[in-house]
Structure 1
Amino acid sequence: MRARLRAALGWALLALGMCGLFGLSAALPAGGYGLRFSEPLSAAQAEALATAAGDRALALTLWRESAVTLTTSRGRSAAATAVWAAGSPGPACPGRYTAGSAPGAGQTDGCAVSAALADALFGSRAVVGLELTVEGQPRRITGVFVSEEPALLCPAAQEDPAAGATAAYLAGVAANDPRGTVQGVLQAAGLGGADPLLLPYGTLRWVLGVAGTLPLLAAGVRLLEGIWRRLPRRPALRWGAGFSLALAAAAALPAVLAALPRWLVPSRWADFDFWGGLAATAAETLQSLFFLPRTVCDAALPGLLLAAGGCLAAAAVGFWLAAGGGIAEVRGGESGPYE
């Protein structure tokens, strides 16, 4: 009875951890790469970056943040952080929307507000379609996104919309070599010496997805081991089962290798320098993600990484409990030889 309870708890933790990892993975942009610049871009630099991204068929969003005071038609006011986006505004505030959506790229009279700002200004989150004044310009609210910070997202003005940008997002970056692609864009734009922070959203999404799959694969291997031990010990039957498993693994191998990104190619696995460089890059990226300057876009990233670590720990503990409690409980249940 105790073994069954242990196995049930293990399966529950395993499922919870896997669902959490897949959910966190889905919350990140697919195939996207973030850039954070230490100095604001000039209009010429922003234009060069947009040209370099366009030459590689990448969609670019640039934005900056500033403190503003907002007022409503009823005279209520509140201080907030405004995110001014050039290009598709969505990546500048990637939070979940509880109502409406982000304003369109050319919708310069629209804005989206955070849930905290909607509560402060209107005392309600049913505010889509209402108006507020931002720096003397009236704007209509198009959506409400989840954030504990008072913030709003606005398309930038038409005149030099990207000037002063301190952050960027590149969509459509190839998964096989994302860092090389982004560095090529920066070199082509003459920003190779700017040394921006690189935020590999697409790679992080892939890693979380793989991390969510690994416990399932491990449980599957453990289950197959249990089934193998329960098979009658007839040589012909075991040879047939073993051959079938080997054939299935060989058929799946090309698809698995094709799914690996370019930076994880098996031909370099024997190179110790490769693993050292990969570990250094991963550590640098994690440090960048944890200690980003506090902005509206990046506020949720440290919490997301901590949640991912918790989900991975839950999945690992769940697998250990399930494996010890009965995924393949074979003692006392093995068939005798040549039944």
Structure 2
Amino acid sequence: MVSLFLWRYAAEQERLYATTSLRFAEALTEEEMQAVTAYQSDADHDSRIYASFWGQNTAMVKAGDGRWEDDVTCIGFCGEAADCLPARYLRGGAPGSTGKTCSISDGLVQSIYGSVWMEGLQIELAGEFYEITGVFSAEDKVVLYPSRQRLTCAELRGVSKDTPMADVEQWRTSAGLPAPQWIYYGPQRVMIVQFLCWLPGILTVAVLLIAWIRMSISWGIFARNVLWFFLATGGALALPVLLHALPGWLIPSQWSDFSFWPDLLKTIVKNDGAWKTAVRYWRDYARF
């Protein structure tokens, strides 16, 4: 039961944290966005990383019949909408990367229209009219729409699981972007959660092995030594396979560095705390 709960949680984490997230101190300029677009469309480089960008602000949103809502969280994105807001849609779907379309949260559509029926409806945002393509589940008042203005965050797909830091830095410098304020490695978080899913099984096997070894003490010396020999041989053969399955960032460059894993744990906890206070509030507080 514990494993089932953990695997369901891991599947949800994999949906929410599928990208490596970069947060910039200032909004990207149009020249920087053009440089990124040119870099990603250039067939001469072999980068497997693709980025989507987004930013948010608060503004007034008006309905077609004169009703309006103030202090609405407006999220503009450029690229893949699902990478910028991995929401669950109650009706319809995400807007396209271009055009005057948008999707809105359940909380906003209920406050403006009183239902989730939104076919053919429009909203007015900053003097522009956007056709609603879908309603996603979130209690707060949120609008998702295509934009190239005030983009402060990047979502990267294709980052290596073994060398994420080097991949992000190489892609950033090649794309001509400034150094980010902070980076959140979502797929690495998912890997840690998936590893925790195996802990109940690992602990069960460990308890059974300990019980088996204690029981073998009363056996004859030949049977006991044979059992222990096979257990030791199996452990020695399994160790290289286990190390090969681990990502490179979990393995220290020197095994004598006993502070490697405590320092890594502190870094993970620190970054996770910063993430929960960041702009992407819906991944921790909104209902999906």
* 1:132 corresponding residue in structure 2: 122
For 2:33, the aligned partner's letter is: A
- Which structure has the higher relative contact order (CA within 8 Å, separation 6+)? 1
| TM-score, length basis structure 2 | 0.82
Matched, 1:38 2:38: no
* 2:13 corresponding residue in structure 1: 25
* 1:300 corresponding residue in structure 2: 283
| Distance in 2 (alpha carbons) for counterparts of 1:36 and 1:227 | 52
Evaluate the alpha carbon distance shift between residue 64 and residue 22 of structure 1 in structure 2; reply closer, same or farther with a 3 A threshold.
closer
Quote the offset at 1:60 in angstroms. Answer: 1.0
Cα deviations by residue, 1:283-320 (Å, 9 ceiling, x for unpaired)? 4413321332xx3x33333799xxxxxxxxxxxxxxxx
Cα deviations by residue, 1:102-128 (Å, 9 ceiling, x for unpaired)? 12323x23211111112112222343x
Residue 264 of structure 1, aligned match among 212, 237, 250: 250
Matched, 1:203 2:194: no
| Distance in 2 (alpha carbons) for counterparts of 1:166 and 1:206 | 26
Evaluate the alpha carbon distance shift between residue 74 and residue 240 of structure 1 in structure 2; reply closer, same or farther with a 3 A threshold.
farther
Which has the higher mean CA deviation after the structures are superposed, 47-56 or 209-218?
47-56
For 2:91, the aligned partner's letter is: A
Please list, as runs of the form range in 1=range in 2, the aligned pairs for 1:233-312 lying within 5 A after superposition. 233-272=219-258, 274-275=260-261, 278-279=264-265, 281-292=267-278, 295=279, 297-301=280-284
| Distance in 2 (alpha carbons) for counterparts of 1:104 and 1:241 | 62
* 1:175 corresponding residue in structure 2: 161
Evaluate the alpha carbon distance shift between residue 275 and residue 134 of structure 1 in structure 2; reply closer, same or farther with a 3 A threshold.
same
Evaluate the alpha carbon distance shift between residue 85 and residue 245 of structure 1 in structure 2; reply closer, same or farther with a 3 A threshold.
same
Quote the offset at 1:215 in angstroms. Answer: 3.1
| Distance in 2 (alpha carbons) for counterparts of 1:249 and 1:134 | 64
Evaluate the alpha carbon distance shift between residue 51 and residue 223 of structure 1 in structure 2; reply closer, same or farther with a 3 A threshold.
farther
Which has the higher mean CA deviation after the structures are superposed, 70-79 or 207-216?
70-79
Cα deviations by residue, 1:16-67 (Å, 9 ceiling, x for unpaired)? 763464244333333x210111111111122334455564221111112233
Helix, strand or coil at the partner of 1:27? helix
Evaluate the alpha carbon distance shift between residue 52 and residue 272 of structure 1 in structure 2; reply closer, same or farther with a 3 A threshold.
farther
* 2:78 corresponding residue in structure 1: 86
Evaluate the alpha carbon distance shift between residue 27 and residue 57 of structure 1 in structure 2; reply closer, same or farther with a 3 A threshold.
closer
Quote the offset at 1:178 in angstroms. Answer: 0.9
Cα deviations by residue, 1:161-207 (Å, 9 ceiling, x for unpaired)? 3x431111111111111122112222234445x44221111111111
Between Structure 1 and Structure 2, which shows a larger proportion of helix residues?
Answer: 1
The answer on whether the counterparts of 1:116 and 1:150 sit within 8 Å (CA) in structure 2 is: yes
Residue 64 of structure 1, aligned match among 55, 70, 90: 55
Helix, strand or coil at the partner of 1:222? helix
* 1:187 corresponding residue in structure 2: 173
Structure 1 unmatched ranges of 5 or more: 1-11, 305-339
Evaluate the alpha carbon distance shift between residue 254 and residue 134 of structure 1 in structure 2; reply closer, same or farther with a 3 A threshold.
farther
The answer on whether the counterparts of 2:49 and 2:156 sit within 8 Å (CA) in structure 1 is: yes
| Distance in 2 (alpha carbons) for counterparts of 1:275 and 1:51 | 40
The answer on whether the counterparts of 1:68 and 1:134 sit within 8 Å (CA) in structure 2 is: no
| Distance in 1 (alpha carbons) for counterparts of 2:133 and 2:174 | 36
| Distance in 1 (alpha carbons) for counterparts of 2:154 and 2:142 | 18
Residue 121 of structure 1, aligned match among 100, 112, 136: 112
| Distance in 1 (alpha carbons) for counterparts of 2:37 and 2:254 | 34
| Distance in 2 (alpha carbons) for counterparts of 1:148 and 1:166 | 24
Structure 2 unmatched ranges of 5 or more: none
